[in-house]
Structures are given as C-alpha cells and as structure tokens.
Amino acid sequence: MLTLPVGVCLGTFGVTYAELRRTARMLDALGFDSVWLWDHYVSWNDPREPVIEGLTAPAGLAEATGRIRLGPLVANNTNRHPGRLAKIAATLQEMSGGRFELGLGGGGLRAEQESFGIDQGTLAERTERVAEALVVITLLWSGEPVTFHGRHYRLTGAIVAPPPHPRPPIIVGARGPQLCHIAGRLANGLNLQWRDRARLDEQLAALDAGLAEAGRDRAGFDLSVHAAWESLAPDPHTALAHWAALGFTRAIIYLGAPYPHDGLQWLAREMGL
C-alpha cells in the first residue's frame, strides 16, 4: 500500500525538452503524483552544458500531460519580479487545467545570478524578498488591483487578469529556519531536502511556530520531502513509511538525466500505482 504520494523532480541540465516531455508523459501514465523542474539558467557542471528554462517548459508539459500536477521546484525568487511570476503562474494554471503548483525559494547560486547581472543580495535580503513575494503573489491572485509598498517590491494598481482558478498552492523550498517559519505563515506547503535531515527538528519547530502565528496547524498543510532516487529505490515502502512517520505528506524524488525509465516503471509497479 502506498504510504505517501510520490512526485519526481527532473533535473534540467544536459537534457532536451523532448526528453523532458517523454519522461513527464511516462510519469503521468504511470500514476505518479507530480513532476517538477529546476529553475536554473546555467549548469554548474559546465556553463556550455544545455539547460532547459524552468518556467517555460511547464507550459509545454501542461499540454503534453493530462492528470499529473506540475511546477518548479523551486522558482528562484531573484530570477523574476513576483508580479511577473504571479502572471506566469496564472497562465500556467489555465494551461494545465488547474494542475499547477508554484514552488518558490530564495535562490543562492551567486555565480549563476551574477553572470546574468542579477543582484541576489545577502541571505537575509533574499529571505525578506521571499516573504514579500508571497504576500504580493497572493494579493495579485485576487484579480483586484494591488498597491503594495514593501522594502523590496512596490506595486501601484497592479492587476493579474484573469486570476488563477483555483489558486495554485505555493510551496516554499527551504533549508534554514527563517524560511520554514515564513512558509508556515504565508504559504500552502514546505519542501525540505532529505540531505538536511539533521536539521529536521529545527526546521519543523520553525514551521510549527509560523503556522501558529497564522492561526493554523499542519492539518491540510503540504509538507514534502525532496530526496535522491537512491534514498527511495532500494526499499520504497520502508522509505515512504519512515517519511510519513516523520510527518511528511508527500515525497518528491530527484532524477538527473539520463532519466531511468526502466527504473520508474519498476518503481510504479512496486508501489502499486
């Protein structure tokens, strides 16, 4: 019996869109929960390695699939003004028939950002920007004019029309407790890296504090674990049961190219999808 829904994050380095599309269609047909893409401009392996843009490709995948949920894991907040991102997400929600989820994070790969002339700021500034972006995006999705004067973003009578319906869930990707707290206050979900599991108690305490501040608890909140294929494949039932016992509500498994199609078919059979 499947303990948790399982999604797959497809790495976007060294891959063509045709390969992404083929794999996403396979995941859709096999019954996986969701498919996610990175939001990077440049490969850290080799700057000349091909890289698929992470907020353009989901538009094609929305047309190529019919059931699976999709989104970026995670959109780098420094790559786009939140007003622009709100509009992009609203369009992707319409194109996908309501299957889009907006993953959002603070970024932090300085070399990539600087090569494109993007001033990513300090860690504290990036964290503050994510908090403001969550407010801005949520306000814009009302479909009403928004005037917002924050420390990092200013809007005057901005509007997203049509607003997305339903509003996409916003999933914050975080490592430090500050963003976990912000996710609890302002987002619909939190995605944590399994490689950071030594920090899990600290992360969950910050999440719970943020939820309490917003008058909420974890009921209905999406807490997902982002793990490598090697953390799941040897014994998927045990891994999923362990993550569920820790409080996670969804597992998202990372795959780099070339994608293991045979392994995905085996995993789907093993999990009874």
- Residue 109 confidence (pLDDT): 82
pTM of the model: 0.96
What is the Cα–Cα distance from 9 to 63, expressed in whole angstroms? 18
- Residue 119 confidence (pLDDT): 86
Is it the case that residue 150 has pLDDT exceeding 80? yes
211-268 tens-digit pLDDT: 999 999 999 999 999 999 999 999 999 999 999 999 999 999 999 999 999 999 999 9
What is the Cα–Cα distance from 157 to 144, expressed in whole angstroms? 9
Task: Tell me what the pLDDT averaged over the chain comes to.
Answer: 96
Strand order in the sheet with 34-37: 69-72, 34-37, 6-10, 250-255, 222-228, 189-193, 170-174, 102-105, 75-76
> Which amino acid appears at position 229 of this protein?
W
- Residue 108 confidence (pLDDT): 79
Domain 6-271 falls in which CATH fold? TIM Barrel (3.20.20)
Q: Which of 39-43, 99-103, 128-132 has the lowest mean pLDDT?
A: 39-43
Going from N- to C-terminal start, the domains of the chain cover: 6-271
